[in-house]
């Protein structure tokens, strides 16, 4: 189980090695993604809070990266955070997520990305439910639910 100390360690010392890497040109990403998906995942944008029905869906399943299909989160780790974005307590595997210091907008946060293709997913915070205490606050447009 990943805890806040692990998040800080990965942020400061380097991320776990992903199972594989996917790299594409910006033009290739633009051809694969909608304009909103591209803005959020490739340009580190944020969708409007409460703009996706994914926040209130808690059906069993697995969520993958919209860009490369890497499995990222299990719905069993999803919870209602009230923030307006889907929230999870853990990634599906330790090496599925990459962590980077984000000092934008006068704040210090930890950005989370797909560790396979570097797609911006959102941020992680130490204010989630126990036992991990983590809240992965994820843009819904960066995820696809595996059928």
Q: What is the pTM of this model?
A: 0.96
**38, 66 contact by CB (below 8 A):** no
CATH 2.170.150.20 fits 4-146, yes or no: yes
**Cα 74 to Cα 4, 60, 64, 88, 141, distances in angstroms:** 19, 8, 9, 8, 16
pLDDT at 105 over 90: no
Instruction: Name the pLDDT band for 99 (thresholds 50, 70, 90).
Output: very high
For the chain, the domains span: 4-146
Per-residue pLDDT tens for 63-85?
Answer: 999 999 999 999 999 999 999 99
Q: Give catalytic residues, as residue numbers.
A: 137
């Amino acid at each position: 189980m990943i805890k806040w100390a692990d998040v800080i360690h990965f942020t400061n010392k380097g991320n776990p090695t992903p199972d594989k890497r996917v790299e594409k040109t910006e033009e290739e990403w633009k051809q694969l993604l909608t304009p909103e998906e591209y803005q959020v995942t490739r340009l580190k944008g944020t969708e409007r809070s409460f703009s996706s029905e994914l926040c209130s869906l808690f059906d069993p399943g697995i969520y993958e990266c919209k860009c490369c299909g890497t499995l990222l989160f299990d719905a069993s780790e999803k919870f209602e955070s009230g923030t307006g974005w889907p929230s999870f307590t853990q990634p599906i595997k330790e090496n599925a997520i990459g962590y980077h210091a984000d000092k934008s907008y006068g704040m210090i946060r930890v950005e989370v990305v797909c560790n396979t293709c570097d797609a911006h997913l959102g941020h992680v915070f130490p204010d989630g439910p126990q036992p991990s205490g983590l809240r992965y606050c994820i843009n819904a447009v960066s995820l696809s639910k595996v059928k």
